[in-house]
Amino acid sequence: MAKKILIVDDSALIRSVLSGIINADARFHVEDRAIDGLEALELLKKKTYDAVVLDINMPRMNGLELLRALQKERIHAKIMIASTDTKEGAQITMDCLELGAMDFVHKPDNTMDCRSEAFARAFLATLTAVAESKAPDNKVFTVESIKTSGALSRLAEKHSAKISGRRIVAIASSTGGPRALQSVIPLLPGKLRAPVVMVQHMPVGFTQSLADRIDKTSELEVKEAAEGDFLKDGCVYLSKGGAHMNIISRGGKCMIHYTDEPNREGVKPCANYMFESLADSPFDEVVCVVMTGMGADGTEGIKNLKEKKKVHVIAQDADTCTVYGMPKSIANAGLTDVVVPLGEIAQEIILRVGVR
């Protein structure tokens, strides 16, 4: 049975174009259309959809206001943002993700470009991920609700003496990742005895905003990784969008190096490159963390990394994943050492690498 989709957009032309793209795929059917957030809210009170395609700038009630209303009304909906506001670096996109949107696609300013094959392909890939995801719990992330790293740090101090050698944490995430990362990174203590490198599937221009937001709630320094950055303990390096992040060694020190190969696993950045680049690094152990996301990115990279390095793999469990794709692929390949809920990932990392 085709999945039911609600389109929310104030432009009749865009509603028509998006409907054409969606209905041309037998997996989906546009069940309803709404001209603004207020009309969409009334529909969502009465009916359930497999996914909602939401514009941001609309009269009466815009996309952000609708997301807030859904939280207030405790209405669970799987929402993807399709708006011209989701341009490079748009802060409003991060606001939408924090308020419960699952993913986003940039809607071209030119309506004709919305009819292009490239846009249709990207749109349907995002819609597929959202439609197959779990509805969010509408939890609003705040510093107060997630800041318990002090207790975890004290726990780690008891175990740190048993940990030897240099270690690094490498994290991969995709759909649902921006919210999930806010349940992991802020729980890591500033004295973490390892650098953290991270690939979150996002297009060019959005990773800086994500890094800045996570940094505000974290003891660790969180930054968008720049070419030539030397890795240091207690710092998180998020790969920028549109390039593949690698870790290379120079005189015993490790640094960030970007490459421009084509998309791999359909994404750029691709976590496989990050994992594989650590094979020749001076670290004694790589702690790989695979979190929520569609597809299989990370599986091949970890498999290749294990041929040369000691690796400990932490995978997020099915119940807490927005999309149980990447961790499932890791588990099916027999690569996981431990599978835990989202709320326990930080603890697993801390106990594996220790604190200074």
194 and 250 in a single domain? The answer is yes
For residue 126, pLDDT over 60 is answered with yes
Domain end call among 81, 103, 131: 131
pLDDT tens for each residue of 111-123? 777 888 889 998 9
> Distance between CA atoms of 81 and 152, rounded to whole angstroms?
35
Number of domains in the chain: 2
83 and 171 in a single domain? The answer is no
300 and 154 in a single domain? The answer is yes
308 in the Ramachandran plot: left (φ > 0), alpha (ψ -120 to 50) or beta?
Answer: alpha
Q: Which helix (H) or strand (E) holds 277?
A: helix 271-277
> Distance between CA atoms of 286 and 353, rounded to whole angstroms?
9
21 and 109 in a single domain? The answer is yes
317 and 240 in a single domain? The answer is yes
Predicted pLDDT of residue 14: 92
Q: Which range, of 139-143, 164-168, 322-326, averages the lowest pLDDT? A: 139-143
Residue 315 lies in a domain: yes
pLDDT tens for each residue of 182-217? 999 999 999 999 999 999 999 888 899 999 999 999
> Distance between CA atoms of 163 and 334, rounded to whole angstroms?
25
Residue 261 makes CB contacts below 8 A (sequence gap 6+) with: 244, 273
75 in the Ramachandran plot: left (φ > 0), alpha (ψ -120 to 50) or beta?
Answer: beta
321 and 189 in a single domain? The answer is yes
Domain end call among 99, 131, 163: 131
Predicted pLDDT of residue 141: 47
> Distance between CA atoms of 138 and 70, rounded to whole angstroms?
8
Residue 23 lies in a domain: yes
| Percent of all residues in the chain with a pLDDT value above 70, rounded to a whole number | 91
Lookup: tokens for 164: 């030897």
How does DSSP classify residue 75? -
120 and 149 in a single domain? The answer is no
Residue 319 lies in a domain: yes
pLDDT tens for each residue of 330-339? 999 999 999 9
Q: Which residue has the tokens 């009465």?
A: 46
pLDDT tens for each residue of 3-28? 999 999 999 999 999 999 999 999 99
Residue 136 lies in a domain: no
Residue 60 makes CB contacts below 8 A (sequence gap 6+) with: 36, 37, 38
73 and 207 in a single domain? The answer is no
CATH number, residue 10:
3.40.50.2300
Domain end call among 86, 102, 131: 131
Q: Which residue has the tokens 């997301």?
A: 67
pLDDT tens for each residue of 144-179? 444 455 566 666 666 665 677 899 999 999 999 999
207 and 338 in a single domain? The answer is yes
Residue 139 lies in a domain: no
* Single-letter code of the amino acid located at 356: R
pLDDT tens for each residue of 221-250? 999 999 999 999 999 999 999 999 999 998
14 and 86 in a single domain? The answer is yes
> Distance between CA atoms of 287 and 305, rounded to whole angstroms?
11
Predicted pLDDT of residue 251: 81
CATH number, residue 192:
3.40.50.180
Helix (H, G, I), strand (E, B), or coil: what is residue 126?
A: helix
pLDDT tens for each residue of 285-307? 999 999 999 999 999 999 999 99
How does residue 88 score in pLDDT terms, banded at 50, 70 and 90? low
Print the domain residue range for 82. Answer: 3-131
61 and 173 in a single domain? The answer is no
Contact 181, 216 (CB under 8 A): no
> Distance between CA atoms of 350 and 340, rounded to whole angstroms?
14
Residue 163 lies in a domain: yes
State mean pLDDT over 325-354: 94
What average pLDDT does the structure give for the chain? 90
The residues assigned a catalytic role are 174, 201, 297
For residue 140, pLDDT over 50 is answered with no
Q: Specify the higher pLDDT residue, 132 or 158.
A: 132
Residue 64 lies in a domain: yes
For residue 346, pLDDT over 80 is answered with yes
Helix (H, G, I), strand (E, B), or coil: what is residue 35?
A: coil
Residue 249 lies in a domain: yes
338 and 215 in a single domain? The answer is yes
